[in-house]
Amino acid sequence: MPDAGTQSAETTLRGSVLVLLQFDVCEAIRLDRLQESIRARTVQQPSMKHPAPGYVRYQRPPVVVPLEPLVLESGERLQGEIKYYDYGVVSVVFELPFADGWEKWIKLASRWVWDVDFAAQATAIVRASLERAAPSLVKPYKQWLSEDYLIFHVREITGSPSVADLIRLHGSKIAQVVRGDTGELAESECNEVLQSRISYYANDLTVIGWNAAFLYDSTTGAETAIQLLEYANSQLLEFRHYDDLLTEELERVYTLLDKGTGILARWRLARSATRLHTVLLDVAELTEHADNAIKFLSDMFAARLYKLAASKVGVPDYKELVTRKVHTAEELYRFMVDQFNQSRAFFLELTVVVILVVELVYLFRGNVF
């Protein structure tokens, strides 16, 4: 019987590699207007892995437009498409069919993770696409935040191993693919990577890392995981935007407060408090918009998969940062309003005193004459 090393050398993996590149380009995209201006389709609801009645449903499915193939310097030809989400995120997806052994998959993963600048090429594509979509963009941003992610989707493996056998025989190689590292990883690092795995059947596997994921599943079965990974990365992008927005606004408020809290300074706080409150309302609305963009209805596996994906890419961390800054902004808003109200009360009292003094002067002048 051949050992694990011989089995690895003889093993062929068939599937594809997907590159997800996402850009936060504006506050919102009017998808109905977008579809009127360009030929597009909407994303179909993903088929579930099991016959349960649960499913994942977009509140507003993204609009999808095919792209011209992307040819890399290495000669690899990738098919692509661009997706427009109503909460202002544009996603570019490139796909390369692949069939080879573990070593070739590992080398490809390392090269694509560290050496190929997909973001630069995707940025040029998005800018050109947005020229046609400009009428549908709400408050476009001058500078874009971006996220990129790789998905290694394996549909078939020689011998059709179960998940248990796949982990036992090739767990270290899966870890190398997810990490994008050609070097042999330590056992502790392999275990760290493989802890972030989830399966529904005995012959499907999803291993999620912070910048790449490994899927072993059929084309239909992998649809949900791919869409949820894409959505998790888009949420990370949104919360990064909220974090930057709140940081900038808080710095502006702190600068204003440092100039003093005299009567005139307090009076100027009214306009700043109004602006800060507007920002808080915008953040609350946009956060709710992003949170409600997709619904998990009765499908607990999809919900668990999304929770794992969001955790690995960092969505909860940025959401917590945004939440803390929102609380700080709310406290500053109340403080600024209190300071303004005190100034207004003092001004009203001063006005009343001046009026009384004037009336008394006229009264005494009248009595004298």
Give me the DSSP letters along 196-263: SEE-SSTT-EEEE-SSEEEEES-HHHHHHHHHHHHHHHHHHHHHHHHHHHHHHHHHHHHHHHHT--SH
Task: Please report, in angstroms and rounded to a whole number, the separation of the first and last CA atoms in the chain.
Answer: 126
Q: How much is the mean pLDDT over the chain?
A: 84
Note the pLDDT of residue 48.
Answer: 43
Note the pLDDT of residue 252.
Answer: 82
Mean pLDDT for 10-32 is 94
Q: How confident is the model at residue 353 (pLDDT cuts 50, 70, 90)?
A: confident
- Residue 172's domain comprises 4-232
Strands (E), the chain: 13-29, 41-42, 55-58, 63-71, 77-84, 89-100, 137-157, 197-198, 205-208, 212-216, 294-297
Amino acid at 86: D
Is there a single domain that holds both residue 196 and residue 267?
A: no
Model confidence pLDDT, tens digit, residues 31-73: 999 988 776 555 555 444 444 434 567 778 889 999 999 999 8
Q: Is residue 114 part of a domain?
A: yes
Report percent pLDDT > 70 for the chain.
82
Q: Does residue 264 register a pLDDT over 60? A: no
Q: Does residue 309 register a pLDDT over 60? A: yes
Model confidence pLDDT, tens digit, residues 87-120: 899 999 999 999 999 999 999 999 999 999 999 9
Report percent pLDDT > 90 for the chain.
54
Domain final residue pick, 212, 232, 252: 232
* Residue 132 contacts residue 37 (beta carbons within 8 Å): yes
Note the pLDDT of residue 339.
Answer: 67
* Residue 161 contacts residue 89 (beta carbons within 8 Å): no
Distances (CA, A) of 14 to 17, 98, 163, 217: 10, 6, 16, 11
Q: How confident is the model at residue 6 (pLDDT cuts 50, 70, 90)?
A: very low
Provide the whole-model pTM: 0.82
Q: In this predicted structure, which of 1-15, 17-31, 144-158, 177-191 has the lowest mean pLDDT?
A: 1-15
Q: Is residue 13 part of a domain?
A: yes
289 vs 45, higher pLDDT: 289
Q: Which of 347, 336, 349 is nearest to 261 (CA)?
A: 336
Is there a single domain that holds both residue 165 and residue 241?
A: no
Is there a single domain that holds both residue 219 and residue 268?
A: no
Is there a single domain that holds both residue 248 and residue 225?
A: no
Is there a single domain that holds both residue 254 and residue 209?
A: no
Is there a single domain that holds both residue 202 and residue 244?
A: no
Q: Is residue 366 part of a domain?
A: no
Which residue's structure tokens are 């977008």? 34
Q: Is residue 368 part of a domain?
A: no
Amino acid at 127: R
Amino acid at 317: D
Q: Is residue 367 part of a domain?
A: no
Mean pLDDT for 158-171 is 94
Q: Which of 199, 200, 205, 198 is nearest to 169 (CA)?
A: 205
The number of domains in the chain is 2
Q: In this predicted structure, which of 138-142, 254-258, 298-302, 324-328 has the lowest mean pLDDT?
A: 254-258
C-alpha span between 234 and 245 (Å, rounded) = 17
Give ∠ CA 192-195-201 in degrees, rounded to 5: 150
Mean pLDDT for 75-82 is 94
Note the pLDDT of residue 41.
Answer: 55
Note the pLDDT of residue 358.
Answer: 77
